[in-house]
Amino acid sequence: MGGVDLVVVGRALVGGSLVEAAVAVENGRIVGVTSPALAPPAEEVVELGAKRLLLPGMVDLHVHMREPGLEHKEDWRTGSMAAARGGVTCVFDMPNNRPPTNTCERVREKISRARSKSLVDFGVYAGYNPQPAELERCSSEFFGFKLYPDDLYSSGAEEVFRLAAKLRKPVLVHAEDPSRFRPSPLHSEARPPEAELSAARRAVELAALTGAWLHLTHVSTAAVLREASAARVALDITLDATPHHALLNESLYRGPLASIARVNPPLRGEEDREAVYESLRKGVVDAVVTDHAPHQLEEKLSQDPPPGFPGLELALHLLLREVLEGRMPLSVLELYSSRPAALAGLRKGRIAPGFDADLVVVEMREWVVKGSELVSKAKYTPFEGVKLRTATAATYVRGLLVYHEGVFAEKAVGMLVSGGG
Ligand code: NCD
Ligand code: ZN
Ligand code: ZN
């Protein structure tokens, strides 16, 4: 008896490299990272062995858990199971619920549902409200604002940026200009790259006008990466990109996965895909996000499939495949852990003393992705058939084991993490 609550011994990602370490955990926090020989006594000792690695829990700034209102697509239990199985210990949930999460009452309703069901920690965004001042009284309860394509061109968009500047919160923008959409059977032609550039320019103008922190989410084109990188020299602009825009291209829209792969912004041509890939490889973007956007399989196979697909279970392992096959540096993992955590002002995403004990045990094991085996309610993926080299063996949220070898904890331990700012 005595000592710390837990010590994990084995190869761990510490300060940018993999080292033999003992990670000591007490009261949900990491209290020591030492060589194994210097490990403190502990109630429980976990030895990883040769085929396992310890990583910090991943932090995903852009997911759709769908509850309240769209629980047939996903809910806080199944969505957080997908997160835990993917090694993601903190998610930030988008406001396009039914009804949209754009008042304090609705923000609080979502938080209380997440508290009662989520296995992982969470933050939430507030959606577009033409009178955003309503949201000021609960500003400590949401991380930032989210604007969809139509919101950005609504009369109240500037007001949202002004309030965000006052509250020092980010405005996340899905940049696509609906006036640039055109009818085409090919999804990537119906919503062309110019639509993203046009909307990104409008968002940058609003950021310049108001001084607000603009975060462009799921950036998918070379042009926007270039212009945003130039604009951020003078303005407070951050960017994220998804694994699907980095790894898949529009050729999927000509094959059997066309409906499954339908997503906004669309998968792009090879040049844009490569630019997104390079932005991850070089750490030009600030974060990787999944945009986990589950819909029912029947909806996806209908005449008019909704855009989006699940991503939380695969993102970390897709990144690790790139690393293990030598195409990306290990530091790409920072884009899905320490860097988004720092953007959100959280002591998460790093294996270091004082940080939350959000830990992921990754096992070296080859497996083939099958949509039907996902724990999300959305049992399909555009990555169908892809061979991965790693799997999540266990996931801890603040020292609590929420996932272990296919089994999920019963208890919802997820907590609201941040009002941000
Ligand atoms: C998202 C969804 O389904 O909510 N769909 C998508 O294609 N990305 C909405 C969004 O993030 O734009
Ligand atoms: Zn979007
Ligand atoms: Zn989204």
Q: Is the CB of 199 under 6 A from ligand 1?
A: no
Closest to 402 in 3D by CA, of 351, 352, 349, 361: 361
Residue 35 φ/ψ, nearest 5 degrees: -70, 150
User: Along the 421 residues of the chain, how does pLDDT read in single tens digits?
Assistant: 579 999 999 999 999 999 999 999 999 999 999 999 999 999 999 999 999 999 999 999 999 999 999 999 999 999 999 999 999 999 999 999 999 999 999 999 999 999 999 999 999 999 999 999 999 999 999 999 999 999 999 999 999 999 999 999 999 999 999 999 999 999 999 999 999 999 999 999 999 999 999 999 999 999 999 999 999 999 999 999 999 999 999 999 999 999 999 999 999 999 999 999 999 999 999 999 999 999 999 999 999 999 999 999 999 999 999 999 999 999 999 999 999 999 999 999 999 999 999 999 999 999 999 999 999 999 999 999 999 999 999 999 999 999 999 999 999 999 999 755 4
Cβ atoms < 10 Å from Cβ of 141: 18
SS3 letters for 272-310?
Answer: HHHHHHHHHHCCCCCEECCCECCCCHHHHCCCCCCCCCC
Hey, whose CA ends up nearest to atom 6 of ligand 1?
308
CA distance 17 to 26: 24
Q: Which domains does the chain have, with CATH numbers?
A: 57-343 (3.20.20.140)
Annotated active-site residue 291? The verdict is yes
CA distance 155 to 157: 6
Q: Is the CB of 375 under 6 A from ligand 1?
A: no
**Tokens standing for residue 228:** 């945003």
CA distance 348 to 281: 22
Taking the centre of ligand 1 as the mean of its atom positions, its distance from the CA of residue 34, in whole angstroms, is 43
Atom of ligand 1 nearest to the CA of 217: 11
Hey, whose CA ends up nearest to atom 11 of ligand 1?
291
